[in-house]
Amino acid sequence: MMRTQVVTGEVGNQLEFKDALTDSVASGDCHLAMRLDKDGFQFALFDTQSDQCIFIKSIAKDSEQELDLVKFFEHQLSTHPLLNRDYQSVSLALAGEPALAVPSGFSQEESEKKLLELHLGHTPWQVGEEKIEMAGIRWLFEFPSVLEKAAKKRFPNVKVSTNSAWMIQSILRKSKWSKGRSVFVDLSDSFFDLYIVNDGQLEFYNCFSAQNETDVFYHLANSLHQLGLNAEEEKILISGPIDVGGETMRLFRKYLKNVDLNFGMDFYKLAKGLGSAKKQYFVSLLNQFVLCAS
């Protein structure tokens, strides 16, 4: 079959990559991966028979018109044809939200809720949990019950979690046999996640608000300094909306000696029709396939 690509590019607030297989593959053989945060919504479709991603769409959130994240999410579910099908498996990651790690052996529900409350600065509506066995921790986070309800109403088989938990699992899988330290920076429009792994073990994680490159440099350098590390000497891998020859990457390379783009942590393939999709833009979204597809 001839495979074709449809790229809407920067049309309004949307970016889309589509392979011809998207219209012919059975939805029962597909995994739907979704990522939601205060900056927008992304989703990708994978053909589980060929382990290929056949569709990617990214929609920026208009903060002036769409103040409510759940309503924004529900609007996307109701308007896109691909989100009105049933799939073999479905995953939804909420990004840009604080999380708290506790040892795997610690399991006191009231104490955990209190710890998360202190971490968040408010009482959580609903405490979510993701076990990260490779790190020996349980990842606690607030996942709004109204958001989970909206997701399960449309996709009863959806698996929900926080984006940072799935990213950590992907990073640890890739770094299992690695020696030395790697710093992972996953950028979004108004925040970024910072992950530091040393000898295959999670050493540090945090999520920072960042409106520009200066904010990113400040939080990155300050975090490394607090750990007794030098930003100029560490291996730094960057993902998110950043281009090889773009201004942001040039600034990173001006001040950091060992910096490169991160094109993904887990095994998956992009269909031929998605050849021009920039994998670094969608690392956290695409990683869901290996972790969540059934």
Residue 204's pLDDT is 92
Question: 100 with 42: CB under 8 angstroms?
Answer: no
CA proximity to 163, closest of 91, 106, 101, 213: 91
Q: Are residues 9 and 71 in the same domain?
A: yes
CATH number at residue 223: 3.30.420.260
Q: Are residues 212 and 250 in the same domain?
A: yes
244 lies in some domain: yes
Between 42 and 211, the more confident residue is 42
Query: Mean pLDDT across the stretch 145-174?
Result: 93
Q: Are residues 255 and 270 in the same domain?
A: no
Supply the pTM of this predicted model.
0.89
CB atoms within 10 A of CB 158: 19
Place of tokens 């994680």: 205
Mean of pLDDT over the chain: 85
pLDDT(145) > 90: no
pLDDT(110) > 70: no
Please state, in angstroms and rounded to a whole number, the distance separating the CA atoms of residues 37 and 61: 9
% of the chain residues with pLDDT over 90: 49
113 lies in some domain: yes
Q: Which of 83-97, 98-112, 274-288 has the highest mean pLDDT?
A: 83-97
Query: How many structural domains does the chain have?
Result: 3
Q: Are residues 200 and 241 in the same domain?
A: yes
3-state secondary structure of 161: strand
165 lies in some domain: no
Question: 256 with 237: CB under 8 angstroms?
Answer: no
Place of tokens 């219209």: 23
Residue 8's pLDDT is 43
CATH number at residue 36: 3.30.420
Query: Mean pLDDT across the stretch 143-153?
Result: 92
148 lies in some domain: no
CB atoms within 10 A of CB 74: 17
What domain range includes position 233? Answer: 172-261
Please state, in angstroms and rounded to a whole number, the distance separating the CA atoms of residues 251 and 34: 30
26 lies in some domain: yes
Query: Mean pLDDT across the stretch 265-292?
Result: 86
Query: Mean pLDDT across the stretch 204-229?
Result: 91
Longest Cα separation, the chain: 57
Q: Are residues 105 and 127 in the same domain?
A: yes
